[in-house]
């Protein structure tokens, strides 16, 4: 997502438990909400509790319904119960599917859910326009607009969900989001297992 506040440097194995302070393999960028929710949950030697975006294709672990992440249980069960267990722990510990029970005017600091739904509306509008203009002279311009808007608004997974049946757009999205590992997707933009990984 587009992060308005300062990004946090997340120590995968908590530094207070002996996790490496400056080793690149122990560092990830995080929003403040995920970082604070993680806290000391992953201690040194406990990395196999979760799935990690720098090691696993987490796009296979979670699906999106109405812009809320869900565990991809059917797929994960076919991979193995241990992987499913790790996905569930990642989801629960970080509250990836957080949405307040009531939105009755109370102010919530964590507005990821709100931004995600907003981006879903934008992406769906773009999809309707893309389908109307596909094959016409405006197609290339439309593709550039989708790419630019997705890049600015964030929520890669929401855009990929909305355009799941559009390989050309998915290819543009994979290019738009810097740092996306191309080895996690095939030539049609479908998620595939990462080489030498459980996922």
112-123 tens-digit pLDDT: 788 889 999 999
55-89 tens-digit pLDDT: 999 999 999 887 788 999 999 999 999 999 999 99
Q: Is the pLDDT of residue 102 over 80?
A: no
Q: How confident is the model at residue 103 (pLDDT cuts 50, 70, 90)?
A: low
- Indicate the DSSP class of residue 183: G
pLDDT, position 3: 67
63, 160 in Cβ contact below 8 A? no
pLDDT, position 173: 97
Q: 130: closest CA among 159, 108, 106, 101?
A: 159
- The torsion angle over the Cα atoms of residues 128, 156, 88 and 6, rounded to 10 degrees, is -140
pLDDT, position 106: 65
Residues 6+ apart with CB under 8 A from 72: 60, 61, 62, 63, 87
């Amino acid at each position: 997502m587009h992060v308005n506040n300062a990004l946090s440097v997340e120590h995968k194995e908590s530094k207070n438990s002996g996790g490496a302070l400056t080793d690149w393999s122990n560092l990830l960028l995080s929003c403040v909400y995920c970082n604070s929710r993680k806290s000391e949950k992953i201690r040194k030697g406990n990395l196999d509790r979760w799935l990690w975006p720098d090691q696993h294709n987490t796009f296979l672990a979670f699906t999106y319904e109405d812009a809320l992440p869900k565990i991809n249980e059917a797929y994960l069960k076919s991979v193995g119960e241990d992987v499913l267990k790790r996905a569930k722990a990642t989801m629960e510990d970080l509250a990836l599917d957080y949405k307040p029970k009531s939105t009755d005017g109370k102010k919530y600091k964590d507005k990821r859910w709100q931004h995600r739904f907003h981006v879903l509306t934008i992406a769906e509008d773009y999809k309707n326009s893309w389908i109307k203009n596909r094959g016409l002279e405006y197609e290339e311009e439309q593709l550039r607009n989708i790419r630019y808007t997705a890049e600015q608004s964030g929520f890669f997974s929401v855009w990929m969900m909305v355009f799941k049946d559009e390989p050309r757009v998915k290819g543009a999205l994979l290019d738009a989001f810097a740092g996306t590992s191309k080895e996690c997707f095939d030539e049609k933009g479908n998620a595939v297992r990462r080489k030498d990984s459980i996922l």
